Homo-oligomer: A and B are copies of this chain.
């Protein structure tokens, strides 16, 4: 269980297979986010149709609602949401710091108020692991402290605490069928990141997560940080870049040795009518699409693109019909999963690194909205 076999390497980029109790993950992989035990507006059948393999769900949200003990009693997260392929839960650390109304951190843990009803709760490393064991994902995370990326003194303190909490998380773990990943922190400070990478690597967890990125730093800072961290991590463990990201981030991450990604971006964009397309990110609400008989992306094999026109999806948006979110979510997720499939082939062929600039070029349009016909 949790064996990571690397099949091909292109400089720092790798493609491999990570085995889990719910099947093999072919890496590099992009994981759709099912925050509340559902990838918003999609059925598990939709996820299968886009070749999703790993799905992430959020410990903080599921602890608050419906409660991790309820999920456990219903047979665990896989059975509850009927996703019988690999799953990953985060530790709740990031949400406690970003979503909860108030929070008080001490050495033992964090006391916070629910964003739903203001009720008071407390997470410790032991509690986070107990919740994640109740949920039952294949890959779980050590409890970490996410710090304000602009407060250097705090970043160091939070990193050191994250290391102590990682040790406590490991000690608290009881299930053998879950892979616990430690999390590298340290902001964008190369010295702290190096220290954190070495420490977390020393814990010998079956995989290692890189946290605290995509939180406001520049792209260059993200790349520089990855350039410090991944060379210090063991080759034979999968690396998970948490909460990242855009198509360019995925390409740049794989180039720097990352194996696993997750992000709400594709589904969040979908709910705001924004779709990945060859000519750039499209706002499908725009009137210029009212009579556009093309699919979102003529090269895409997803259900939305194989079935519907931009004109129809634009009508659904204008008429406030929820099917619009479903269709754009299917497409946006498929676009990133298809990108990862392509990257895996390129790595296997040994041509990923040389073709990466072309790939980045193709996707650079999607960093911003398309100019043609898009008014806002």
- Which A residues are closer than 8 A to B by beta carbons? 36-38, 40-45, 61, 65-66, 70, 73-74, 80-82, 290-291, 293, 303, 307-309, 311-312, 314-316, 318-319, 321-323, 325-327
Contacts and interface: CB of A to CB of B under 8 A. Distances in A.
Contact of A36 (B36, B309, B319, B325): B319
B38 A321 contact: yes
List the 4 closest A-B pairs by CB distance, nearest first.
A66-B315, A36-B319, A38-B323, A38-B321
A169 to B, nearest CB: 26
26 contacts: A36-B316, A37-B315, A38-B316, A38-B321, A38-B323, A40-B322, A40-B323, A41-B323, A41-B326, A43-B323, A43-B326, A44-B307, A65-B318, A65-B319, A66-B290, A66-B311, A70-B290, A70-B311, A74-B291, A74-B293, A74-B309, A74-B312, A80-B311, A82-B312, A322-B322, A326-B326
Contacts of A65: 315, 318-319
A38 B307 CA distance: 14
Contacts of A309: 74, 80
Max chain B C-beta neighbours (<10 A), residue from A38, A45, A70, A316: A38
A318 B67 CA distance: 12
Nearest to A304: B43
Given A36-B316, A40-B322, 4 more contacts: A36-B321, A38-B316, A38-B319, A74-B309
A262 to B, nearest CB: 18
Nearest to A64: B319
B318 A66 contact: yes
A222 B41 CA distance: 39
B290 A42 contact: no
A322 B81 contact: no
A58 B187 CA distance: 56
A42 B45 CA distance: 13
A81 B38 CA distance: 26
A61 B70 CA distance: 43
A307 B82 contact: yes
A36 B40 CA distance: 22
